[in-house]
A and B are shown apart, each in its own frame.
Chain A
Amino acid sequence: ILNVEQSPQSLHVQEGDSTNFTCSFPSSNFYALHWYRWETAKSPEALFVMTLNGDEKKKGRISATLNTKEGYSYLYIKGSQPEDSATYLCAFPNFGNEKLTFGTGTRLTIIP
């Protein structure tokens, strides 16, 4: 059973502030790490697929970094906006196949 952990479990951030949260995963047999954003009553939205150690990916105000040697990834949100309120999930492919093991997520609430 793969252990994918996310912290913190929930977070309240003032609008305009920047924030970050963590996903940790098994550092051995790394294939890829997926980040998703899941807003209530909508489909989980794919944000990034991270594959290389030291990778940094960016999508607007959201960026992610990857450290495969120590088994963690950070997701950063710059200048938080109310529309960023969502649960952010990371997922790790099982043993080099397409089956994803998800973390429990970080629930982000932006306070106007």
Chain B
Amino acid sequence: SAVISQKPSRDICQRGTSLTIQCQVDSQVTMMFWYRQQPGQSLTLIATANQGSEATYESGFVIDKFPISRPNLTFSTLTVSNMSPEDSSIYLCSVQKDRGETDTQYFGPGTRLTVL
């Protein structure tokens, strides 16, 4: 398994500002992902964080809105830029030690964001 921490655990932000969320893993992992859960919705993948290169974004998500960094194999950040109330969600990072669809993904505790 992997132990994952996220900071902050929650925040209340004003419209138009940006928030950076940090994800730290206790061991080196191959894959890191960022998800969000909007109220009443399922967990949705935002992007795959690639170490040393640009993140791979899913349809509907763009780098200008959700810039992601991954400087090494244990750390990643997600920024939610120019926030609006629609960005109010739980944001989670997840990790997978190796590639493959049968490997377990482990999740952080999430960052609960409220945008006023």
Q: Which residues of A contact B (CB under 8 A)?
A: 4, 31-32, 34, 36, 41-44, 46, 49, 51, 89, 91, 93, 96-105
Most buried by B among A34, A36, A43, A99: A43
- Decide yes or no: A98 and B31 within 8 Å by CB, A41-B109, A43-B108, A44-B92 being known contacts: yes
Binds A, one of B37-45, B65-73, B76-84: B37-45
Q: Find out whether the CB atom of B105 lies under 8 angstroms from the CB atom of A31.
A: no
Shortest CB-to-CB span from B75 to chain A, Å, is 17
> Can you list 25 A-B contacts (CB < 8 A)?
A31-B102, A32-B101, A32-B102, A41-B109, A43-B4, A43-B106, A43-B107, A43-B109, A43-B110, A44-B92, A46-B105, A46-B106, A49-B104, A89-B43, A91-B43, A96-B101, A97-B101, A98-B33, A98-B48, A99-B33, A99-B45, A100-B45, A100-B105, A102-B43, A102-B44
User: Which residue from chain A places its CB closest to the CB of B9 in the assembled complex?
Assistant: A41
The interface size of chain B toward A, counting residues with CB under 8 Å, comes to: 24
Q: Find out whether the CB atom of B44 lies under 8 angstroms from the CB atom of A31.
A: no
CB contacts under 8 Å to A, within B21-65, are: 31, 33, 41-45, 48, 58
Pick the contact of B104: A31, A46, A103, A105 (CB < 8 A).
Answer: A46
Chain B hits for A99, CB < 8 A: 33, 45, 48, 58
CB contacts under 8 Å to A, within B95-115, are: 96, 99-110
Q: Find out whether the CB atom of A98 lies under 8 angstroms from the CB atom of B96.
A: yes
Most buried by B among A32, A41, A99, A105: A99
Pick the contact of B42: A96, A98, A104 (CB < 8 A).
Answer: A104
User: Which residue from chain A places its CB closest to the CB of B93 in the assembled complex?
Assistant: A43
Q: Find out whether the CB atom of B43 lies under 8 angstroms from the CB atom of A31.
A: no
Shortest CB-to-CB span from A50 to chain B, Å, is 9
- Decide yes or no: A104 and B109 within 8 Å by CB, A32-B101, A46-B104 being known contacts: no
In whole angstroms, what is the CA distance A105 to B44 when docked?
A: 12
Shortest CB-to-CB span from B49 to chain A, Å, is 12
Chain B hits for A49, CB < 8 A: 102-104
In whole angstroms, what is the CA distance A98 to B94 when docked?
A: 11
